[in-house]
Structure 1
Amino acid sequence: MARLAAFDMDGTLLMPNHLLGDETLSTLKRLRERDITLAFATGRHVLEMRHLMGRFALDAFLITGNGTRIHSVEGDVLHRSDLDPEVAHRVLHTVWDTQASIHAFNDSGWLTDKAIPELLHAHVYSGFHYQLCDLKALSASDVTKICFCGDHDDLVRLQVQLSEALGERANLCFSAVDCLEVLPVGCNKGTALSVLSGHLGMTMQDCMAFGDAMNDREMLGLVGRGVIMGNAMAQLKAALPHLPVIGHCQNQAVSHFLTHWLDTPHLPYSPE
């Protein structure tokens, strides 16, 4: 049986309205009653996740910023990774051929140079908000990650530009169809979960994980039991064709799967 369960948030645990369903919350508490350690592995900022954890009343380790930070249940920093300052400066100061908006993150929060109210919809229940600033005036020495948000096809073209400019000095990934992220070299949820499992005296074979986007690929591929959401990006399903696909986040499919795993593991599972 898994000893550590790691969960992506958006598109996985959270429903399309960005809320955690009652059935899901109840099932997560059942895991804790079975002494299974919880970890939330997300692109969201730790400041937002701490607020959400308070609302959920759950004890869990936090892997945030797509692996740039790991925090203990008590809130201590277990691991941190920042972009190479030269990479951050290059990305923030280059005029890229894209219509996408650009967003930088550091320990103080979410920073961008123009108001885009629709981006706040995903954060309506936490109240997490961007701070407006001149990104070119931002210190490049403590940037954890940089995101571009926009049309997917435009972001695919931008990915080519960034890859040519940055080479092997950064990790590029889609955390959603409309969000392309620039992360530190070697930084992803999988490497972060490996660090956390080692800290807890476990191996990745002791872990199960759930996700729906390309930023979950390494994590799902490295754990003993990886599970893909039915609403996952097609690229993720294609990249990990051997992993099981369950139902949609709107139906709280993670809860459905885990309830079966806890109560009737001897029976074959079929998505709701």
Structure 2
Amino acid sequence: MSQFPQLSQIDCVVSDLDGTLLNADHQISENAIKSIQALVEQGVVFMLATGRHYQDVHGLMQKLGVEMCLITSNGARVHSDCGKLLYHNAMPAHLVAEVIRLSRGFCVHRNLYQNENWWVEEPHEELLAIHASSGFSYRFCDFDSLLLNDVDKLYFNAGHDELLKLEKALQKSLGDQLCITFTSPEYLEVMNLGVSKAQALAQRFIERDICPTRVLALGDGMNDIEMLNLVGHRVVMDNASERVKSMVDHAIGGFANHNDGVALCLQRLLASKA
């Protein structure tokens, strides 16, 4: 287990959302909001890195009351503090079409992020409720009639066993052309090759002259592993799977999203100020 850092050792904090900053009800606590604001007041850069859509995260950012860089769709899009699109890595349309074709026949709920839209073919009220706090919601369409340009990602929600079957089919046909990853046992996501939170973060660090060894990152999912291993201080949430925990070196533990773990972590960091 790695030693917890002092505030003087940290220039930037990066947090995942679901399973990390968001609690079990997919909300940001008042304690977390106040802790983030206090951290920024101390001159520490704060960023969000998530699989969620930009429109979704922008709504959550407004509740935090601080400007920040937003890495969304697992790194397919990056927006600046003032909302300017800095980076976009969309999937080629012919590969989107192939993913749609290959995923037919599986018992999964299919979702597609394209420009400002979250497209689905059928309702999923539990999934919609996860995004209620930001006001972001899906729209219905027939995927076969959709123009497939500017697609950031597709993701699939189902039981893990069914998603494993789909992952095998996608990896066999497209594994060398797309990034295919689980974010949790119930969510399988597909992005363009090279898309990841870590890749997007590394570029931001260069642009802002931030040394990765002076960064603390928090996450819980498979899509957080590269990001966590990129930085000098790694908080793997206690609610993360054992697989995730085993794949992050020298991690800091002791914080869970259902116990307001990000707020507790930041409060401990702030309390270390000399």
Superposed pair shares fold, TM > 0.5 = yes
Tell me by how many angstroms 1:247 deviates: 2.1
Aligned residue pairs total 266
Per the TM alignment, residue 84 of structure 1 is displaced from its structure 2 partner at its CA by 2.1
**Residue of structure 2 equivalent to 1:165:** 173
Report Cα offsets for 1:211-239 as digits up to 9, x if no partner. 01001111001111111000012221121
Report the CA distance between 1:242 and its aligned residue.
2.8
- Please say if 1:62 is aligned against 2:73: no
Partner in structure 2 of residue 29 of structure 1? 37
Cα distance, 1:119 vs structure 2: 0.9
Among candidates 204, 207, 232, match of residue 212 of structure 2: 204
1:177-227, Cα deviation, whole Å (9 max, x unpaired): 211000111111111111111121223223211001001111001111111
Which position in structure 2 is the counterpart of 1:155? Answer: 163
Counterpart of 1:143 (choices 137, 140, 151) is 151
Please tell me whether residue 71 in structure 1 is matched to residue 79 in structure 2.
yes
Cross-structure match for 1:270: none
8 Å contact kept, 2:179–2:193 = yes
In structure 2, what is the Cα distance between the partners aligned to 1:211 and 1:265?
Answer: 24
Give, in angstroms, the shift of residue 155 of structure 1: 0.8
Provide closer, same or farther for how the CA distance between residues 19 and 95 of structure 1 changes in structure 2, counting only shifts above 3 A: closer
Question: Is 2:99 the partner of 1:99?
Answer: no
- The CA deviation at 1:241 is 4.8
Q: Which residue of 2 aligns with 1:245?
A: 253
Q: Which residue of 161, 183, 198 maps to 1:190? A: 198
119, 133, 139: which is aligned to 2:141? 133
Aligned partners of 1:2, 1:139: CA distance in 2, in Å? 44
> 2:58 matched to which residue of 1?
50
Measured on the aligned residues, the alpha-carbon RMSD in Å equals 1.5
| Contact 1:103–1:148 (8 Å) recurs in 2 | yes
Is the contact between residue 170 and residue 184 of structure 1 (CA under 8 Å) also seen in structure 2?
yes
CA displacement, residues 23-82 of structure 1 (integer Å, 9 cap, x when unaligned): 111111111011111111111111111112222212111000110111011000111111
Point out which structure has higher relative CO (alpha carbons under 8 A, 6+ apart).
2
- Tell me if structure 2 keeps the 8 A contact 1:177–1:233: no
Query: What residue number does 1:269 align with?
Result: none
Q: 1:132 to 1:224 in 2, by over 3 A?
A: same
Q: Tell me if the contact between 2:78 and 2:85 (Cα under 8 Å) persists in the aligned partners.
A: yes
Structure 1 consecutive aligned stretches of length 4 or more whose deviation exceeds 6 Å: none
Kindly provide the amino acid, as one letter, of the partner of residue 70 in structure 1. V
TM-score by length of 2: 0.93
Q: Of the candidates 83, 94, 99, which is equivalent to residue 91 of structure 2?
A: 83
Q: Are the aligned partners of 1:27 and 1:259 in contact in 2 as well (CA < 8 Å)?
A: yes
Which runs of 5 or more structure 1 residues have no equivalent in the other structure?
267-272
1:97 touches 1:158 (CA, 8 Å); kept in 2?
no
- 2:20 maps to what in 1? 12
Q: CA deviation at 1:153?
A: 1.5
Where 1:141 maps in the other structure, the secondary structure is coil
Query: Which residue among 230, 243, 246 is the counterpart of 1:235?
Result: 243
After TM superposition, the score normalised by the length of structure 1 is 0.93
Q: Deviations over 1:127-161 (max 9, x none)?
A: 21111001112222211100011001111121111
Is the counterpart of residue 174 in structure 1 residue 182 in structure 2? yes
Pairwise CA distance, 1:95: 4.7
Identity in percent: 30
